[in-house]
Structure 1
Amino acid sequence: MNNLVRFFLIIVVVSGILLGTISHLNTSQGYSGNNTLTVYNWGDYIDVELIKRFEKETGIKVIYETFDSNEAMMTKIQQGGTSYDVAVPSEYTIDKMRQDDLLIPLDHSKLPNLKNIDQRFMDLPFDPDNKYSVPYFWGTVGVVYNPSMINGKKITSWNDLWDPALKNEILLIDGAREVMGMGLNSLGYSLNDTNKKHLQEAKTKLDKLTPNVKAIVGDEIKMLMANEEASIGLVWSGDASEIMSENEDLDYVVPKEGSNLWFDNMVIPKTAKNVDGAHKFINFMLDPEVAAQNTDYVGYSTPNKAALKHLPKEVVEDERFYPSPELTEKLEVYENLGKRNLAYYNELFLQFKMHRK
């Protein structure tokens, strides 16, 4: 029995030494809890030079991890295996996360740069009073197209895509809300419609689009469109901007019936270990010059009104990517539809994809 006790005592002592050594190494390398910040963001969605600048200015070491979908991000935060201090989910996910008690309320007194955000993008239904989130980037869903490949035709309406002359010319992003939303908008319905009759009607109409659809793809749509593998693509506005920078023959339009107005916002998850550091990081990203540099790197539209004066005039006056208030009023933010309705959207979208085969 004494040998057993001695054995456990040795394990305890050795474990203590190991933990102490790890703690010392982490601290000496800048990885202690108070000066480390773990940021969880979309891939290639921040200028890495800004991370270096934040680290230099604050002494806080940033550990940067990426995700490729809101669902993957939310699942990992729910599991709690990693102590993420800042995350950047989209609007409907923020709504769900706050309902599921996965977010820490923001202390606005620690975010003086919040005043720089355009009031059009504050106090939206998915986060009243911006209690939990701060706008990071925003944009639209629309059509990028090459007029020279379709005999000079101009795309102005979703219904233009059903033209038989566009056979095998269209690429679609692999997203249920985006593709179903296109079908709903083309019929004059809301992007957040949950009427099953309307949804079936939209799916039936999408089936008729099948001859024109060349492929349903992911991020490779940018390369395919830039290389003129297709003449038309359903894309997010930021991707359109990147594609157009590679091929000047392309144009982008938000169809006249309306479309999606999306937001990615910064939040502090319940997993956060460095809440004070998280506020410092968010406030840093809201600085006008920082936001402008980040916008120039990423290519999406900034909600930071004060940052606009630091961006080229031809960028901020381009209504394709900074649409007028009159147009933004016609656009819809995705709502959290609930598990049952979202599952039905996904089911119809899967049926559409299977119909193509």
Structure 2
Amino acid sequence: MKKKLLLMAACLGAMFAFTACGSKDDGNTLTVLNYGKYIESSVLDAFEEETGIHVNYEEYVNPEEMYTKYKSGAIDYDVICTSDYMVERLINEGEAKEINFDKIPLSKNLNDSYFEFSKAFDPENKYSMPYFFGTVGILYNKNKVDANDVKSWDILWNKKYKDQIIMEDSVRDTFVPALKRLGYSSNSTDKKELETALDQLIEQKPLVYSYLVDESADEVVAGNASMALVYSGEAAYAESLSKDLDYSVPEEGSNMWIDSWLIAKTCKHQENAEKFLDFLCREDIAMKNFEYVYYATPNKAVYDKLDKETQENKTIFPDDETLNNCEIFRYLDEDSIALYNKLWKELKSK
């Protein structure tokens, strides 16, 4: 998930911590594991009130933390929301149950095209249900950056923007521009391709103002940098604060991310899990979550009710041409992860 305010979510985690540790499970419960600040709290209250099912709700900051929590075996989670490549990992490890969509009739509200995109990590659409999606691109100040320049990833290597460029402090996200401008896949595991991309990033480093994560958009809003590599959700947030900002997904292509729900192998309350997923697809509930998170929703019933300005906001809802020119991150094997990390350390040490 490409989520604003993750650090705040971590700080507030205790407020939403697992509420039933050590309590007796009477069967009428549901244990949920989700990103921080990724569901409107009244939605959980409404689900409990309407169904009588008590929700044990726990949050995490990133997919790796989620995986550690899940694999520890300390808690039997029923449903989990996580990112595309981690969904793929859990499916491959046999940790996800097949979803019976006949038991989730309101999933008909989800646009079929996002199930198609999900086939990149769930080839038969058996194990996951899309929740939110977005892209990686460049947030920029229209008064300081030439709009023609921002059409290509080359702008991040343009010396006239020295000390005005923010990159993601994240290995795979920062490798995306380098790989794509070289014509390589953002899922490349080829050592020569990755080393060539590293050379590009080392060449670029003297131009970079900073490598940041959650602060990137805020720095551009504050005028401390002219552009930043960001997630589309961050860009939409920044644009709401300043009319001088815009967002571009360069023509060479980028990363499209999809966060999805799955029913975990540890699920002890299958019927309750299905009721919960169906509830999330309901138009009024999905609208609450969209208005709270403000990321692109795959729920076409919600999209159809949005005002024209929001529907046509390409930062939130990229057009088909943009999405079709993007790749979804795939899960990498341990050797490939080690290679990326080795190259990242080399970049950061320069």
TM-score between both structures, scaled by the size of structure 1: 0.87
1:92 pairs with 2:99? no
Corresponding residue number in structure 2 for 1:68: 61
Alignment of 1:170-189 (within 5 A): 170-189=165-184
SS of aligned partner of 2:201: helix
Q: 2:28 aligns with which of 35, 56, 65?
A: 35
1:202 pairs with 2:197? yes
CA distance in 2 between counterparts of 1:33 and 1:267 reads 23
Distance 1:184 1:33, change over 3 A: farther
SS of aligned partner of 1:262: strand
Corresponding residue number in structure 2 for 1:221: 216
1:248 pairs with 2:243? yes
% identity of equivalent residues: 38
Corresponding residue number in structure 2 for 1:288: 283
Q: Which digits, 9 at most, give the CA deviation of each residue in 1:255-313, with x for residues without a partner?
A: 11000111000011122222211111111111122212211210110111221012222
- Gaps spanning 5+ residues in structure 2: where? 1-19
CA distance in 2 between counterparts of 1:63 and 1:145 reads 41
CA distance in 1 between counterparts of 2:338 and 2:252 reads 25
Q: Which digits, 9 at most, give the CA deviation of each residue in 1:59-96, with x for residues without a partner?
A: 12222211111111112111111122111111111111
Q: Which digits, 9 at most, give the CA deviation of each residue in 1:18-52, with x for residues without a partner?
A: xxxxx9x95xxxx7442222211111111112111
Does the CA contact (< 8 Å) of 1:225 and 1:233 recur in 2? yes
Distance 1:33 1:343, change over 3 A: farther
Alpha-carbon shift at residue 151 of structure 1 (Å)? 6.7
In terms of Rg, which structure is larger?
A: 1
CA distance in 2 between counterparts of 1:337 and 1:42 reads 21
The one-letter amino acid of 1:323's match is P
CA distance in 2 between counterparts of 1:342 and 1:75 reads 16
Q: 1:156 aligns with which of 151, 157, 162?
A: 151
Alignment of 1:343-354 (within 5 A): 343-354=338-349
Corresponding residue number in structure 1 for 2:17: none
Corresponding residue number in structure 2 for 1:312: 307
Larger relative helix fraction? 1
Corresponding residue number in structure 1 for 2:74: 81
- Gaps spanning 5+ residues in structure 1: where? 1-22
TM-score between both structures, scaled by the size of structure 2: 0.89
Alpha-carbon shift at residue 319 of structure 1 (Å)? 2.3
CA distance in 2 between counterparts of 1:237 and 1:317 reads 14
Q: 1:55 aligns with which of 31, 48, 51?
A: 48
Corresponding residue number in structure 1 for 2:297: 302
Aligned-pair Cα RMSD in Å: 1.8
Does the CA contact (< 8 Å) of 1:289 and 1:310 recur in 2? no
Distance 1:69 1:310, change over 3 A: same
CA distance in 2 between counterparts of 1:182 and 1:266 reads 28
Does the CA contact (< 8 Å) of 2:236 and 2:315 recur in 1? no
Deviates more, 1:41-50 or 1:216-225: 216-225
SS of aligned partner of 1:230: coil
Alpha-carbon shift at residue 352 of structure 1 (Å)? 1.2
